[in-house]
Chains A and B, each alone.
Chain A
Amino acid sequence: MSGHSADEIRGEIRRYWIIGLALFLLTIITVTVSYLDVTPGMAVVIALLIACLKAGLVAGVFMHLISEKQAVYALLLLTAIFFGALMILPIGTRASQIPL
């Protein structure tokens, strides 16, 4: 990343501010939506979708994952698999309690 020209870096800086502004707006939307009269299930889906979008912007642009090396992607793929397993645990526990 550090081998970029000054113009390229200034272009990146503009992108950082745009993403920062987008994150501010998405945070305001998250809070606004939480006060709307929606079902609890829908509230969870909306809040998590916005959180995932914000996380994607932070990871993709601020942590430069949109242009990283293969080693980082391989490492994160492994992490994502184990993280997914952790998140499936509560669902699996609930499913096992449902009488067949």
Chain B
Amino acid sequence: MQIPYTVEARPDTGLYNAKLGIWLFLASEVMLFGALFSSYVLLRTGDPGFMTMSHEVAEAMHLEGHAHSWSDVLSVPLAFVNTLVLIFSSVTIVMSWASLRLKEFGKFKLWMGLTILCAFGFMGIKAIEYSAKFSHHLYPETSNFLGIYFTLTGLHGLHVVGGLIVLVYLWGPGSKMWKSESQRFINRVETVGLYWHFVDLVWIFLFPTLYLL
């Protein structure tokens, strides 16, 4: 069976089907993360004690002073590095797509490989962050703030892992398509690129709202 409009654009939408499909998927993702952001804003603005850390936890964390915010337990330097890693990966993935359009398959492999390394790096740093929380007995049930922190960053992390699986496939066995159906392969890389940029976009909002404010 021939799948229609994998390469050429549909006359009515002007897009190949996978591109329309990924945009529909991303629209649903906006609503998913939007609902969680909305919940976070509601909790943070509605509960005056939402960000206030209990005295016992502050002591256990060896934090000096009187009043502490839950965001004090989050590592800004690690999240800052992770933001730069994700931004760099957005550049490398768009470079891998551009390399294919220039018919430079070797460079595609290089840029896509770097994107994969960035994804592993991001998850590695996230694992360090999470393990630091767990070692201090800070879990989602510890407070509402940590509950929403683990939910938002955990869901985002799952999206990184999901994207990583597709990136590895396109870098490895999936790249065989380049020889048989090059334009279709370029479209696949563009489609996963759109998804990857969205993952970066979500983090752009998560970083300041959770770590800095």
Contact = CB atoms under 8 A, between A and B. Distances in A.
A and B associate: yes
Interface size class of A (residues with CB under 8 A): 35 or more
Given A9-B102, A27-B84, A78-B27, A71 B13 contact: yes
Contacts of B101: 1-2, 4, 9
B1 interface: no
Interface string B134-147: 00000000000000
Contacts of A47: 208-209, 212-213
Among A24, A44, A83, A87, find the residue whose CB has the most chain B CB atoms closer than 10 A: A83
B102 to A, nearest CB: 6
A59 B41 contact: no
Contacts of A69: 13-15
B128 interface: no
Contacts, number: 128
B98 interface: yes
Contacts of B24: 75
Interface residues of B, number: 49
A71 B5 CA distance: 15
A58 B201 contact: yes
Contacts of B30: 79, 83
Contact of A62 (B19, B27, B102, B197): B197
A17 B76 CA distance: 25
Interface stretch (B32-40, B114-122, B163-171, B172-180): B32-40
A59 B94 CA distance: 12
A98 interface: no
Contacts of B190: 1
B46 A93 contact: yes
A44 B210 CA distance: 11
Interface in B155-211: 183, 186-187, 190, 193-194, 197-198, 200-201, 204-205, 207-209
Contacts of A100: none
A68 to B, nearest CB: 9
Contacts of B78: none
B38 A72 contact: no
A58 B208 contact: no
Contact of A59 (B98, B193, B197): B197
State the 5 A-B residue pairs at the shortest beta-carbon distance, nearest first.
A20-B91, A90-B42, A47-B208, A34-B212, A69-B14
Given A9-B98, A47-B209, A83-B30, 9 more contacts: A2-B101, A10-B102, A16-B98, A27-B80, A27-B87, A47-B213, A59-B201, A62-B90, A86-B37
